[in-house]
Structure 1
Amino acid sequence: MTTQRTQPDLLYSEEEEALRAAVRDLLTDRCDAAGVIARTESDAPHDVALWKALATGMGLAGLLVPEALGGQGATHREVAVVLEELGRAVAPVPYLTSAVLATEALLACGTDDLLAELASGASIGALAVGLHTAPGAAFTTVRLENGTLHGELTGIADAAVADLLLVPADDGGLYAVTASAVTVTPQVALDLTRPLATVTLDGAPGRRLGAAEPAVRRALRAGAGLLASEQLGIAEGVLTETVRYLKERKQFNRPVGGFQALKHRLAQLWLEVVNLRAAARAAADALSTTQDADLAVAVAQAYAAPVAVHAAEEALQLHAGIGMTWEHPIHLSLKRAKADSIALGTAGAHRAALAELVDLQAP
């Protein structure tokens, strides 16, 4: 007897569109581009007030957490919608790191009390694995000596604002460590809205949660799949803004957007964004149903990074001189797109994973 596979519905439901509208309204009111740029120039790039509004006010930090633990009991599809809007606004909040990566790792370990803390927004979590790490790649661990943790981990996203760090150790365990027990040193990062840091542990006490390998793998896979939705939001956002700008800007007494060469460039971008939407939606749906999730995530990430970067680069060029200024927000989108292109595995790494999944040998 063969089991028929159901076809995924990649269209947005009414509930998902309502969620999008609510998140976009909040970001319109609380996350203007000038404010984000000003934060990147300060010592506090994270918008903690905005995070509280998202996590506590709207309950979005607990979308993946069961209702019994104070979460929303939603699916990856709803999380994907949130990430689209956060990507569009380049919002400086630790949503991907806390509500996705840390939450998925805790779900794998079955740690109910810590999940409840993250779901309520009372704590911000961070998985202490370099943001560049692909789902199938090796990750750095720290030493467990005499019951305490020792070592250094680099490239940890949003560690500066985290209350709880999930640290893999060389005994194969994943440990919960409070931020006050470690030293967090900022690293220079291209994307100033998602800061990276080095985390140093020198005899830090930790609580063993479970096996690190399956927890980290699950977290990185979900993170990579949902990152495609953030990249979709970036691409859609810059395309929409560029079309609006070209309709308003005039040259030779005509709107620039009416020139055929620019129309062709915008049409090509639109096609790429539409294809990215399908890939990102497929990944989110697969993660929510666990049907061919590895394959869908690899496809989405193999395609997402080049499209997001291309869209942001085209947007900057088509805004001409004003696009090159620090005051214009296009550079925020471009830097986030470039940083995302190596986050959770490069497009090349995901293409290699895809080839292995479908048993396609290299020439």
Structure 2
Amino acid sequence: MSAQPEPALLYSEEEDALRAAVRDLLTDHCDPADVITRTESASPHDVSLWKSLAGPMGLAGLLVPEELGGQGATHREAAVVLEELGRAVAPVPYLTSAVVATEALLACGADDLLTEVASATSVAVLAVSLHVAPGGPVPGVRLEGDALHGELTGIADAAGADVLLVPADDGGLYAVRATDATVTPQTSLDLTRPLARVTLEAAPGRRLGDSAPAVRRALRSGAGLLASEQLGLADWLLTETVRYLKERKQFNRQVGGFQALKHRLARLWLEVAGLRAAARNAADALTTGADTDVAVAVAQAYAAQVAVRAAEEALQLHGGIGMTWEHPVHLYLKRAKADSIAYGAAGTHRSALADLAGLPKP
């Protein structure tokens, strides 16, 4: 029996070039001060930034086949984009539309909607609560005749969607135009990825395919690539904290020179390095289809605690300035906390991993 080849987890030249292009654009158009201001407004989504990412760069259709107007890229490239969006806490619907909804549409073969998403003429959102894990129970609305009735809560980025992909009680997944639904904002911790309640009252819907396999595929990709966003968050927090501690002085010494703080930063660096390996492995597994469920479960069982700890350490080590609204660290803490329960909490993924490995559940 021949040995299986090891996954190539290092970044390719193309991925490095993609990273540089996305980072340059975000540096110019996603200043932390602007993100803070936007979270205080009635329009948390940055539409102009989304158009820049989705239009000229073609990132909205990264996972869409070329014959449908997309880039025909893989989950590895999408993971690189999400790392950079995580580093900037960018208020754009990339994960929800260009990854999760796109995967559901690919599973259903909805070519016309995929073309709309790839061309950035439509933002699609899967109308499943953000906390639902791959394989978890998915609430559905009622189908009465040709119309959909019901209410779904905790739908991420629904306020900026043009098309809602709605599971129904007949086992189908339906495309509903947002104009035919009532979308009501809900209070959410992470204001850069707002949640909403979707209410359908005799809303017309178009059946795309079977709900269960499409939703499972979508949520699995969402969970796997969410780890790359969490990696971007943690990496930015670590880098910024190290930079600040090199500049801050106390007792006429650089704060970063204190041994106790060096130990805390060294431990955090090791955890971020481990998160990078887990996130890259999940992205590679989604690309190749090899041990995908295991790779995604491992990544999400580990990613949340690292991202949250990086945010908590950054908040503490920035001292008084870290507690202010003007400093962006609170954006990262809120995103890290919200991400920790998105597409399943760590405990849910540990339980799934135990089932996959045939081990007693923790």
Would you say same fold, with TM above 0.5? yes
| Aligned counterpart, 2:256 | 257
**Shift of residue 136 of structure 1?**
1.5
| Aligned counterpart, 1:50 | 49
| Aligned counterpart, 1:215 | 214
* One-letter amino acid of the structure 1 residue matched with residue 174 of structure 2: Y
TM-score normalised per structure 1: 0.99
| Contact 2:155–2:196 (8 Å) recurs in 1 | yes
What secondary structure sits across from 2:216 in the alignment? helix
Residues 151-195 of structure 1: per-residue CA shift (max 9 Å, x gap): 000000000000000000000000000000000000000000000
Equivalences for 1:280-295 in 2 at 5 Å? 280-295=279-294
* One-letter amino acid of the structure 2 residue matched with residue 307 of structure 1: V
* Identical amino acids, percent of aligned pairs: 77
| Aligned counterpart, 2:360 | 361
| Aligned counterpart, 2:75 | 76
What secondary structure sits across from 1:343 in the alignment? coil
Equivalences for 1:318-337 in 2 at 5 Å? 318-337=317-336
**Shift of residue 3 of structure 1?**
5.7
* One-letter amino acid of the structure 2 residue matched with residue 178 of structure 1: R
Q: 1:17 to 1:265 in 2, by over 3 A?
A: same
| Aligned counterpart, 1:150 | 149
Distance 1:22 1:243 in 2: 25
Residues 183-222 of structure 1: per-residue CA shift (max 9 Å, x gap): 0000000000000000000000000000000000000000
* One-letter amino acid of the structure 2 residue matched with residue 247 of structure 1: K
What secondary structure sits across from 2:49 in the alignment? helix
Distance 2:312 2:50 in 1: 28
| Aligned counterpart, 2:34 | 35
* Runs of 4+ displaced beyond 4 Å: none
**Shift of residue 4 of structure 1?**
4.0
| Contact 2:148–2:204 (8 Å) recurs in 1 | yes
Distance 1:302 1:87 in 2: 18
| Aligned counterpart, 1:170 | 169
| Contact 2:182–2:199 (8 Å) recurs in 1 | yes
* One-letter amino acid of the structure 2 residue matched with residue 40 of structure 1: T
Distance 1:4 1:200 in 2: 52
Residues 86-118 of structure 1: per-residue CA shift (max 9 Å, x gap): 000000000000000100000000111100100
Residues 270-295 of structure 1: per-residue CA shift (max 9 Å, x gap): 00000000000000000000100000
What secondary structure sits across from 2:118 in the alignment? helix
Distance 1:342 1:104 in 2: 20
| Aligned counterpart, 2:276 | 277
What secondary structure sits across from 1:175 in the alignment? strand
| Contact 2:164–2:177 (8 Å) recurs in 1 | yes
| Contact 2:355–2:361 (8 Å) recurs in 1 | no
| Aligned counterpart, 1:345 | 344
Distance 1:5 1:144 in 2: 47
* 2:5 pairs with 1:6: yes
* One-letter amino acid of the structure 2 residue matched with residue 75 of structure 1: T
TM-score normalised per structure 2: 0.99
| Aligned counterpart, 1:239 | 238
* One-letter amino acid of the structure 2 residue matched with residue 210 of structure 1: G
What secondary structure sits across from 2:7 in the alignment? coil
* One-letter amino acid of the structure 2 residue matched with residue 64 of structure 1: L
What secondary structure sits across from 2:199 in the alignment? strand
* 2:137 pairs with 1:138: yes
Aligned length: 362
